[in-house]
Structure 1
Amino acid sequence: MRRKYYHGEGSTIVKKLNSAEALENPSYKDSLAELLYQLADDDFILAYRGSEWLGLAPHIEEDVAFSSINQDTMGHAAMYYQLLEDLGEGSVDALAHVRTPEQRRNAILLEMANGPGDYLREPDYDWAFAVVRHYFYTAAKKIKINSMKNSSYQPLSETAVKISMELYYHQLHWKTWFEQLMLAGGEARSRMEQAITIVMDDFGGLLSLGNKGAEIVRHDLIDSEEILQKRWKEAMKPVFNSVNLQIPTRFPMKHGDGRNGVHTDDLTKAISTLGEVYHFDPAASW
């Protein structure tokens, strides 16, 4: 069922639904929940991966800045989980901590460990990978957020507006790191290029909407994968040009599509760690 109403030549107005109206349409509700799981799980797992850098970032100022970004990102995940709770999907805490890896909908790229070792024991993390992953993800997230400002689901549209205000600073932070390291030459440039190859091998998963993508788009919840990919390339092309790098033309998913429940052992280990406090005391607030 389309909810597009046309007002004048070339203009489109999308009718907004509230939670009660969404629950009246099973197909709409299922598509909405699927998208919300993707959004929430992406932010949830990447906020955790970012938090592992606490005390390990290149300098103390970056420790503070990165921690702030991770707190914001976890807050965004909580917003999406709250929208799912409002749809009757379960409590926010349970959605974050009880679901199995197979039930998660995050992109595989975001669950990948920062590097060998553990953040508490002999971590051998790759800062170049962290910069590229967070920058490319934040740019993709901004594209999605801009699209969802026009979402047919009113609460999601309003949430997108709130998140957008914080994303400007996140994107600027990672853009600065990306350009400085790429233009530094030598080992910095070499390691950044290696990180770009690793990130792009699974970058398609970030802009994927999974097996239910057609229904998500049909219900005007977000733009299509093709449109999202095109906008990401348009947004990133000036930055790639500034560092003398060719913009990627393909969006592969080397290790599979996390939107469809395909994941790695990295996610299993991360979820186990993230849920330790909750499972010790389910009444605790995360």
Structure 2
Amino acid sequence: MKQYELNTIPDEGYRQALASLLYQLADDDFILAYRGSEWLGLAPHIEEDVAFSSINQDTMGHASMIYELLASLGEGTEDELAHGRPPEERRNAIILEEVNGPGDYLIEPRYDWAFAVVRHYFYTVAKKVRMDSLKQSSYGPLAEAAVKINTELYYHLLHWQTWFTQLMNAGGEAKQRMEDAVSRVCDDFLGVLTLGPDGESMSRYGLIEEEAILASRWTEALKKPFDSTGVQHPPVIRSLRGDGRKGEHTGDLTDALHTLSEVYRLEASGTW
């Protein structure tokens, strides 16, 4: 398949499908990196605190890389794209914006490590599937970005798979909390696996493979870890709270963006 560069984009349909895909990729990483950063100082032990912080830094860097591609398309500056857009313009999956623990988060913040492990593991597997596909993307700059991101993603995946299998095999309360987290994450994880309204155009233009193919690879990648824990596979994946790819979001995203964009609102001319 022919590969295009910024100055050889064939038509407006291609550009629209490309921008839609880039917004999903960047917004997913941006909000999950923030949720992960909230664990700083709260992880189970000091080594995990350092490792998780490094993963979040990498993930935010990946978001920045994709926002830069959007900026090159004329969508705005990196700062505007990351901090200046309202919730309804965001294209991240809803499960990624959810707070880190149950209960009234603003009154009594609570953190659930099982939820963090399952959400990050499932997402990292899905991200790896996408990046592997994007290495063959018809848009050259995106294919190059995918290769760079993949070099770090290998370690992220190994990290979360280790946590997942150890806690699932621990038995007792640990396994029960993990199973509860799997159920909770799966209730909205379909939002991560979908490519949104422009998904068909994305695959037709060769930007990324078809949604069904990617979802099947995600399911297959989880088969061995699930089989080793004796838990049902594949899990039932749903989308109960709306479609983030269409700009449907929760108050969790509004609150997160308010915090994330505070400095930007004070000094929009600064550099992110």
**Per-residue Cα deviation, 1:98-125 (whole angstroms, up to 9, x for no partner):** 1110000000010000024669x85311
Quote how far apart the aligned CAs of 1:285 are: 2.2
Query: TM (normalized to structure 1)?
Result: 0.92
The answer for the alignment partner of 1:200 in structure 2 is 186
Measured after TM superposition, the shift of residue 195 of structure 1 is: 0.2
Q: 1:124-163, aligned counterparts within 5 Å?
A: 124-163=110-149
Query: Over residues 125-146 of structure 1, what are the superposed CA-to-partner deviations in whole Å (9 max), with x where a residue is unaligned?
Result: 1000000000000000000000
- Matched AA of 1:95: L
Q: Distance in 1 between matches of 2:76 and 2:253?
A: 21
**Partner of 1:58 in structure 2?**
44
Q: Does 1:28 align with 2:31?
A: no
Residues 99, 105 of structure 2: 8 Å contact kept: no
Unmatched tracts of structure 1, length 5 or more: 1-13
The answer to whether structure 1 residue 268 and structure 2 residue 258 are counterparts is: no
Q: Which one-letter code corresponds to 1:17 in the other structure?
A: Y
**How many angstroms does 1:251 deviate by?**
2.7
> Could you tell me which residue of structure 2 aligns to residue 214 of structure 1?
200
Shift of 1:248: 2.3
Deviation at 1:247, TM superposition (A): 1.4
Between the aligned partners of 1:123 and 1:186, the Cα distance in structure 2 is: 25
1:4 is matched with none
Please list every run of 5 or more consecutive structure 2 residues that lacks an aligned counterpart in the other structure. Answer: none
Deviation string 1:211-259 (CA, Å, 9 cap, x unpaired) is 1111111111111110011101111101110111121254311111100
Q: 1:250 and 1:150 mapped to 2: Cα distance? A: 30
Percent identity over the alignment? 61
Verify: 1:44 aligned to 2:15, yes or no.
Answer: no
Using the alignment, how far apart are the partners of 1:84 and 1:229 within structure 2?
Answer: 25
Match in the other structure for 1:18: 5
**1:242-281 alignment, distance < 5 Å:** 242-248=228-234, 250-281=236-267
Q: Secondary structure at the match of 1:162?
A: helix
Q: Match for 2:7: what amino acid? A: A
| Alpha-carbon separation, structure 1, partners of 2:139 and 2:199 | 16
Q: CA RMSD in A?
A: 1.3
Query: Any idea what the Cα deviations from partners look like across 1:155-204, whole Å, max 9, x if unmatched?
Result: 00000000000000000000011011101101000000000000001111
Aligned pairs for 1:69-148 (under 5 A) are: 69-115=55-101, 116=103, 123-148=109-134
Distance 1:253 1:36, change over 3 A: same
Is 1:234–2:226 an aligned residue pair?
A: no
Whichever residue aligns with residue 18 of structure 1, its letter is E
